[in-house]
Structure formats: structure tokens, C-alpha cells
Amino acid sequence: MDIGFSVIYNGIKDAISLTKDANSLPVLRERMALVQDQLRVAEKKYSELEAENSDLLRENRILRKEKIELEDRLNKLDASPLFVDIGPCFIKKEKSGRILDGFYCPKCRTILEFDTFWTGEHSEGRYYCRCGFSHPYDVIMKAMKNCTTENFS
Ligand SMILES: [Zn+2]
């Protein structure tokens, strides 16, 4: 129910002018009852709005906190390095262009380990992954060199 502020205002105004005439007491009583009703409506509405406002302020605080957390996560996502395919494997590159140390498996994207293996005739340096991927050191170094001169210069 809307608050009849004009009823309250006019009721008080009429009451003031009705006090001049003693015969208008019943009318004055009627107007004051009307003003009283409207003040009750106003009081109820004020309580409802106060509760609603309190809920909205609480919700707003939560949303502001979530917004800050999401902005923070978004900034971290932008800063996280991306995988770049260099042929035999992946490398990680930051948005700034800086290439991070290490080579990554093209199958499972785990960082590759390095070791020297005996082929039966000579020893060979190889990058390998636990998933079974393996590539010679020379091939990966060549791909890395081509990649940095072609794409990152
Ligand atoms: Zn792997």
C-alpha cells in the first residue's frame, strides 16, 4: 500500500485550520484518524524498506568481495604463461614474451626431463616424459632455435 503523504500533510493542515471553529471537532477527529492510519502505513513501509535496504547492503558487500576476487583471478589468468607448440614439444611463454625455462610434453604437457642414453654405439642426450614421449636433445634445440628466431624476435 502506498503511503498517503498528501493525506497526512493535508490532514494536519486542515486540523490546524479546524481548531479555529469549535463546531468542527467531529471533522477534526475524522481527519486525525485518517492521518494516524497513514502514519501507521508509513511506519510499516519504513520498516520494510529498512529491512530490504539492510539485505541489499549485505548482498552488495558480498558482490563487491566476489568482484575483487574475480578481478584478481582474471589478472592472474592473464599473467599465466601459455603453451606454444615448437614442433617436437611445447614451451611456455608469458604474455610479456618472456620464454620460461623448460620443455613440455606434446602429449600430456608435463615438463620434460633430460638424460643421456646409450644407443649401443654412442651416448645421446634426450628429453623424455613419463608418458613415453622422447625426443633427441639436438632436434629440440634446433626447433627452439628456429622458433625463437622466427616467432619471437
Ligand atoms: Zn608426456
User: Are the C-beta atoms of residues 129 and 113 closer than 8 Å to each other?
Assistant: yes
Q: Are 83 and 104 in contact (CB under 8 A)?
A: yes
The rounded distance, in Å, linking the Cα atoms of 47 and 62 is 23
The string of pLDDT tens digits covering residues 51-89 is 999 999 999 999 999 999 999 888 887 778 899 999 999
Cα atoms in the 13 Å half-sphere on the side-chain side of 26:
1
Ion ligand 1 residue ranges (Cβ < 5 Å): 105, 107-108, 110, 129, 131, 133
Q: pLDDT digits over 118-139, tens only?
A: 888 889 999 999 999 999 999 9
Which residue do the cell numbers 471553529 mark?
Answer: 21
Cα–ligand 1 centroid distance for 60 (angstroms):
46
12: CA distance to ligand 1 center in Å? 85
Determine the 3-state secondary structure of 12 from DSSP: helix
